[in-house]
Structure 1
Amino acid sequence: MTVPISYLIFSALIGLIIGSFISMLSWRLPRALFAEELADLQDKQSDLPEESDNHSFRSIFFGRSACPKCNQTLPWYRLIPIVSYLSSTGRCHNCNEKISLRYPLIEIASMLLTVITVWHFGITTTTIYALVFIWVLLTISVIDIEHQLILDILSLPLLWLGLLLSTFNLFTDPVMAIWGAAAGYLILWILFHTFRLLTGKEGMGYGDFKLLAALGAWFGLSAIPQIILIASISSLIIGLAAVILQRRSMQQAIPFGPFLALGGGAYLFLGSELLGGFL
């Protein structure tokens, strides 16, 4: 199906707007849920902006956007995705402090993923569900990269949505979705406890189990091997590259959620063709 260029341009704009929302949500949501646990996060990750807002669920959606350094409330024209960042040369108009690159990078990622999804699936109902899937995975990935957390408030609704969509045989059928969800959780659960038994260390978190279960619910049991393969290979490559570039030591853990999301996204667009080509 050929998608008119006007639809792709409109999709890019929607992607930028959603990306702006994701950058806000991924910053505020963990702090609303784990305010005490993340109180010292800014000391450990100095490249991330400080946050002085009240970390409550109300502030997530209704709190006014402000500069994280000087707490100056931002007018609407300072909130235009990408444009505001470029026009201000990446600095706050009030205190002139540097604005984190996380904001434009998330907006650009959302825009590209949205355009690719619309181009791939066309103007169909499936596109709507695929976009929700991609946007949630992007949010989960950002939070996991920054906080090493995969929140149930994101992964569990994704799992239930996948199971519900399977009743329409959209991406898989109900039987395969149920088995996929169960296998996705149990495989990582077994690996987690086996690794801990052998080494005394925890290799991953329970959030990874739930995320893979959600991916299994969306695509079925047959998708699990491909998703795990892509996640494992990509995490190994990135981990080794980080060690070689001296960005982290061999003992430092890397979040696995973004790589599971990469595997899920690859299956969304390529299905089993990717694993077949690899083999």
Structure 2
Amino acid sequence: MFYITAFILGSIWGSFSNVCINRIPKNISILTARSFCLSCNKKINWYDNIPLLSFIILKAKCRHCSTKINFEYFLVELISAINFLVIFYFFGLTFESLLLIILSVFFVIIFFIDLRHFIIPNELTFSLMALGFIKSFLTNPSLFIFPDYVQSLIGGVTGYFVIWFIIFIYKKLKNIEGMGLGDAKLLSALGFWFGWIALPFILIFSSVIALVIAIPSLINKSKNMRTQIPFGPYLILGCLFYLFFNDQIIKFLS
């Protein structure tokens, strides 16, 4: 029952994440406005807004206008549910689990907003920065991957200026923007959460993942080296790889 509850809670937060993904870029309130169909603008009844189940029961169509519901809604809820389940499975009912759950919700929202709109809203990155630094005073760095406040502060500042420097140099050489400051703020947030030592690995992992995914498009010429890509999702995937291989990285460095 514990893991079933975690899965259900995750799907509920996934539903809320969908609200954020759709409303934040449009500056629509995520708290006051009720859920509505983006096609016919009809309010969605509570029984048509049950995470995961409603998508299946409605056969991915709006009850009022029969417009097809984007599969992304279901995917976000499923990913969020799995995130909660995995976190509770490995870390149980701990303070670290709560922190990772909060981080996972932010990750899902940022991932899909950047993937769709090529932006990372400041309200998300600034909130992550603040939370990342505050939690460095509340966790024991000897027990987990979270750093102390000194490493956290250095990581946050370094993360921002690494991307800022890349943007500056690329613009000087090519006279175009190579990356956005949203990526700089996201890497800064990751630095606040996991310290400066995590940054090289996150950048390496994210760059490799981005390159591997981009190679087929470059080969068939559907994209070129000037094609705009959202780098935020790759930074998130790079961070997940860092967390997954954290033990091996520590052993390699020690």
**Structure 2 partner of 1:113:** 83
Distance 2:60 2:105 in 1: 25
2:10 pairs, out of 5, 10, 15, with 15
Note if 1:122 corresponds to 2:117.
Answer: no
Deviation at 1:274, TM superposition (A): 5.0
The Cα of 1:172 is off from its aligned counterpart by: 0.6
Judge conservation of contact 1:226–1:272 (CA < 8 Å) in 2. no
Q: Tell me, yes or no, if structure 1 residue 260 matches structure 2 residue 235.
A: yes
Contact kept? 1:212, 1:260, Cα under 8 Å: yes
Q: Render the CA deviation track for 1:51-99: whole Å, top value 9, x for unaligned.
A: xxxx3x3xx2121212211112111100011111111111111211111
- Equivalent runs, 1:71-86 vs 2, <5 Å: 71-86=41-56
The whole-number CA distance in structure 2 between the counterparts of 1:203 and 1:252 is 10
Partner of 1:156: 126
**Structure 1 residue ranges, 4+ long, deviating more than 6 angstroms after superposition:** none
Q: Check conservation: 1:120, 1:269, Cα contact below 8 A.
A: no
Matches of 2:62 and 2:127, distance apart in 1: 36
Question: In structure 1, how many angstroms separate the alpha carbons of the residues matched to 2:220 and 2:57?
Answer: 33
Contact preservation (8 Å) 1:11, 1:114: yes
Structure-to-structure mapping, 1:134-213, within 5 angstroms: 134-168=104-138, 169-170=140-141, 171-213=146-188
Which residue, out of 12, 25, 29, partners 1:30? 25
TM-superposed deviation, 1:205? 0.5
TM-score, normalising length from structure 2? 0.91
2:137 maps to amino acid: T
Q: For the residues of structure 2 that align with 1:248 and 1:89, how far apart are their CA atoms?
A: 34
Determine the C-alpha separation between the residues in 2 that align with 1:112 and 1:246: 35
Spell out, residue by residue over 1:147-169, the C-alpha distance to the aligned partner (whole angstroms, 9 max, x if none). Answer: 11111101111111111111233
CA distance in 1, matches of 2:71, 2:98: 28
Query: Is the 1:226–1:275 Cα contact (8 Å) retained in structure 2?
Result: no
Compared CA separation, residues 244 and 106, structure 1 to 2 (3 A): farther
Unaligned ranges ≥5, structure 1? 1-5, 33-54
Identity %: 34
The alpha-carbon distance between structure 1 residues 236 and 79, as it changes in their structure 2 partners (threshold 3 A), is same
Which whole-Å deviations, capped at 9, do the CAs of 1:81-121 have from their partners, x for residues lacking one? 11111111111112111111111011111111121111121
C-alpha distance in 2 between matches for 1:134 and 1:145: 16
Structure 2 residue aligned with 1:271: 246
Question: Measured at CA, do residues 62 and 242 of structure 1 come closer, stay the same or move farther in structure 2, by a change above 3 Å?
Answer: farther
Q: CA deviation at 1:276?
A: 6.4
SS across alignment from 1:62? coil
Aligned mates of 2:223, 2:128 — CA distance in 1: 31
The equivalent residue for 1:89 is 59
What amino acid sits opposite 2:96 in the alignment? T
Distance in 1 (CA, whole Å) between partners of 2:251 and 2:235 is: 19
Structure 2 contact 36–42 (Cα < 8 Å) conserved: yes
Structure 2 vs 1, CA of residues 242 and 20 (structure 1 numbering), >3 Å: closer, same or farther? farther
Distance in structure 2 (CA, Å) of the matches to 1:271 and 1:95: 48
TM-score normalised by L of structure 1: 0.83
CA distance in 2, matches of 1:165, 1:226: 22
Number of residues of Structure 1 aligned to a counterpart in Structure 2: 247
